[in-house]
Amino acid sequence: MGSKKGVDRRRLLKVTGASVAALGLLAAGCGAGGGSGDGTVTIRYAWWGAEDRSKRIIETIRLFEKKHPKIKVKTDFQPYPDFWKKFNTQASGGNPPDVFQNAVGFLRKYDERNVLLDLNAQVKAGNLSMDNFRAGLDKFGVVDGKLLGVPVGSNSMGLVIDKKVYAKAGVTPEQGWTWDEFDAAAKKIRDKGGRAADSGMYGVMYLYDLVLRQQGKAFFTEKGLGFTEADLTKWWTKAERGVKSGIVADTEKVVQNKPKSAVTAELAAGEFTWDNFTNRYSAEGKSEYGLAPIPTTDGKKTGQYLGSLMLSGSKRTQHPKEVAQFIDFMVHDPGVGKIMGYDRGVLATTEQYEAYKPQDPVNKEIAAYEKSLVDAGVLEQITPHPAGADVCESAFLRIAEELTLGKRSVDEAVEQFFTECKTALGG
């Protein structure tokens, strides 16, 4: 799931080569998973994440190998940007890992490159169960009828706020509030709270997707962009005005404080991001942080959906059965749920969701937030992204930043974005 998300990932997923080596996570080589004379099969598993995530995943692998002694798992762990660089090299060479962490923006891209294993056959063979997934998540990795990814957790866009600043300004967000009400609240936060209201939402692709969905459109269709240059001109004109008026934090200061969040750096009172990133703010900042609902256009429709990290298999694997068994274990086993917690989002299956009961306030709030979305009936299905969506996401974030830094006019920014996306999407 990238956008502000991409910025947060770089913070959350950063890890040094030394710590990787200390964990002993890098695979001994890049050869395809193989077998041995005693019937033992070895598969390769690759993922991105923070050091804590890797420690948890290694623990789950040990649990899997204990219960499946004839399947051994080689691991390959990278920071987010490095993961995809290495993966692209492996995929181009016909040697991707047997099973790997994936996200919706890459499904069509790698399916079109003939990289992803359709897991439907393994479901029919009884090696992988797609039962007991929460809130329709079992459909999240389905593209053109092919099961290309299996969710490990769920998340949704939310507004992370500094509760003390919001209270000082007398602003109480409620489900169904409108963008007009958000704009009025932003002025109160600036004037009474003494801080910009937002960190820079106009480059967050997944937020703009919700705004478009509220209007009956979407950022992507299955083949390309689902909005016009006029739509984006309106959105980015508002961005430019927001920075000039002090409603949006000074972009130069936000950039200078990276990788720290503008919220915890006390430059902004809130920012739109994925709900499972809320843990970041409590770890980074000194205030009290929480989740507020997404503003709406009509007071009802938020356009939200549950996103998810997924596990995918390689079409070139020599061991599709064992890959499926591994994925099945990782998404259904209660012990795995207890180990992983909400590291990759609220647990996707009922077995794991019920096995893990968060004790800390932040994870309790994340779970409550997603439950409120389900109870409110606002969740919809995401549109599968076209091949090249990841390039468009990166361009959206970068060009919006250039705009708010004053390096491009609105018209120049819009033209540049559509030019780059046309190339990325092939039309």
Q: Token pair of 212, please?
A: 């478009």
For residues 133 and 193, membership in a common domain is answered with no
Sign of CA dihedral 194, 196, 197, 199: negative
Q: Quote the pLDDT of residue 2.
A: 42
What pLDDT score does 282 carry? 84
User: Would you state the pLDDT for residue 35?
Assistant: 63
What is residue 36's predicted lDDT score, i.e. its pLDDT? Answer: 62
Whole-angstrom distance, CA of residue 195 vs CA of residue 263 = 10
Indicate if the pLDDT at residue 155 is higher than 50. Answer: yes
pLDDT, tens digit (0-9, with 9 covering 90-100), for 94-112: 999 999 999 988 999 899 9
Any idea which of 2-11, 62-71, 401-410 has the lowest mean pLDDT? 2-11
What is residue 22's predicted lDDT score, i.e. its pLDDT? 39
> pLDDT grade, residue 67 (50/70/90)?
very high
Residues 264 and 389 both lie in one domain: yes
* Least confidently predicted of 292-301, 351-360, 380-389: 380-389
More confident residue, 24 or 239: 239
Indicate the pLDDT class of residue 33, thresholds 50, 70 and 90. Answer: low
- Residue 82 above 50 pLDDT? yes
Instruction: Please check whether residue 92 lies inside any domain of the structure.
Output: yes
The C-alpha atoms of residue 279 and residue 285 are separated, in whole angstroms, by 10
125 and 206 belong to one structural domain? no
**Which of 141-145, 234-238, 307-311 has the highest average model confidence (pLDDT)?**
234-238
Q: Does one domain contain both 354 and 402? A: no
Indicate the average pLDDT of the chain. 89
| 234 and 280, same domain (yes or no) | yes
Q: Are strands 150-151 and 310-313 parallel, antiparallel or unpaired?
A: antiparallel
Both 150 and 162 in one domain: the answer is no
- Rounded to whole angstroms, how far apart are CA atoms 139 and 378? 17
165 φ/ψ angles, rounded to the nearest 5 degrees: -70, -40
Q: Which two tokens stand for residue 254?
A: 């936000």
Does residue 174 have a pLDDT over 50? yes
- Give 281-328 pLDDT, tens digit per residue: 888 899 999 999 999 999 999 999 988 899 999 999 999 999 999 999
Work out the average pLDDT over 239-258.
94
Same domain membership, residue 253 and residue 349? no
CATH of residue 34's domain is 3.40.190.10
Encoded tokens for 300: 């009802």
Confidence grade of residue 34 (pLDDT, cut at 50, 70, 90)? low
- In the numeric block, the tokens 């989002």 are attached to 345
229 lies in the same domain as 332:
no
- 189 located within any domain: yes
DSSP secondary structure letter of residue 144: T
167 lies in the same domain as 228: yes
For range 67-85, the mean pLDDT = 92
Residue 148 sits in the same domain as residue 261:
no
**Are 263 and 355 within one domain?**
no
Residue 174 lies in a domain: yes
Residue 65 lies in domain: 3-107+117-154+317-362
pLDDT of residue 18: 39
Q: Could you read off the pLDDT of 11-32 as tens digits, one per residue?
A: 433 333 334 433 443 333 334 4
In a domain, residue 227? The reply is: yes
The secondary element (H helix, E strand) that includes residue 241 is helix 229-245
Total domains in the chain come to 2
pLDDT at 52: 82
pLDDT in the model for residue 427: 66
Residues 56 and 150 in one domain: yes
Q: Is 266 left (phi over 0), alpha (psi -120 to 50) or beta?
A: left
Return the structure tokens found at 153. Answer: 């957790």
- Kindly state whether residue 372 falls inside one of the protein's structural domains: no
Highest mean pLDDT among 45-49, 81-85, 127-131, 372-376: 127-131
Beta-strand relationship, 41-48 and 71-78: parallel
